[in-house]
């Protein structure tokens, strides 16, 4: 039906053109990542961990590139701000919808089933967190409500960046340039911390370590194929519990929160 497909090239504004190109770049990156994953044996845990770190960096770099492009466009055309947000939201929804279809009976479905079983044994279940680049921080924000702590995602990000900057020597050795393999320079490290505070850069193991020290609370990460990882074991008290999913969405890894299993609540109250 005419009018329901793509617009004529000449009718697209700068924002639509940029969003279309960025979507294409994301798909190309995902294809590249899939190729990288196919070269690593499933039983090579060390290499798969290295691969996960490499993938996270590639995705974060592309996301940062796209954000800078959108920022420049916004500064050039402030009146397009609403249009930009609507287009980005639509693109994100389309991406998630595509991933939902692709993973309905695939890796995501199997991972969700196994995680549900692991959590149910502890009278817990997954509490879904949006996939927007802030998922790890949003999951911690949700968990902190049980610790009488009302820190927001913005606060968690800012505190993480400040802690890592003030403990430079503890974190720098674990950060390498994905293109050269060299350890980050001081400038690259500062940019990494600035991205933590001011962008939707994904969080990982290093940020969890920083947050465990900031909150002085152990952080437990439940995952499918190995025992839970506990960061900050030196601290006492009830751990913050997150669920790490490798196949949650088309772009890869994702963190969710947990809550008391609904069925368990019903059974205990009956």
Q: Which of the residues are catalytic?
A: 132, 135, 254
Token pair recorded at residue 131: 């996939």
SS3 content of the chain, % helix, strand, coil (to 5): 60, 10, 25
Please give the helix or strand (H or E) that residue 246 lies within, else none. strand 240-249
User: Which residue, among 195, 193, 200, 207, has the nearest Cα to 240 in the 3D structure?
Assistant: 207
What is the C-alpha end-to-end distance of the chain, expressed in Å?
56
CA dist list (Å): 170 to 55, 99, 184, 235: 22, 37, 13, 18
């Amino acid at each position: 039906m005419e009018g329901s497909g793509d617009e004529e090239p000449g009718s697209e504004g700068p924002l639509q053109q940029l969003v279309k190109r960025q979507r294409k770049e994301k798909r190309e990156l995902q294809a590249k990542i899939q190729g990288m994953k196919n070269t690593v044996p499933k039983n090579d845990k060390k290499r798969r961990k290295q691969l996960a770190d490499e993938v996270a960096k590639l995705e974060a770099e592309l996301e940062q590139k796209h954000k800078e492009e959108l920022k420049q466009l916004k500064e050039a055309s402030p009146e397009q701000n609403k249009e930009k947000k609507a287009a980005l939201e639509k693109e994100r929804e389309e991406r998630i919808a595509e991933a939902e279809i692709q993973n309905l009976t695939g890796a995501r479905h199997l991972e969700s089933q196994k995680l549900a079983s692991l959590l149910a044994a502890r009278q817990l279940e997954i509490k879904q967190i949006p996939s927007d680049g802030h998922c790890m921080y949003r999951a911690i924000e949700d968990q902190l409500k049980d610790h009488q702590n009302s820190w927001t995602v913005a606060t968690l990000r800012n505190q993480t960046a400040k802690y890592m900057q003030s403990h430079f020597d503890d974190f720098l050795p674990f950060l390498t340039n994905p293109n050269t393999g060299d350890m980050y320079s001081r400038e690259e490290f500062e940019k990494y911390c600035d991205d933590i505070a001011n962008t939707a850069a994904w969080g990982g193991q290093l940020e969890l370590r920083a947050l465990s020290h900031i909150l002085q609370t152990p952080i437990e990460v439940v995952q499918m194929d190995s025992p839970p990882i506990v960061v900050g074991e030196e601290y006492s008290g009830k751990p913050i519990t997150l669920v790490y999913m490798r196949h949650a969405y088309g772009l890869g890894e994702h963190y969710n929160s947990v809550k008391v299993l609904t069925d368990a609540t019903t059974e205990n109250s009956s």
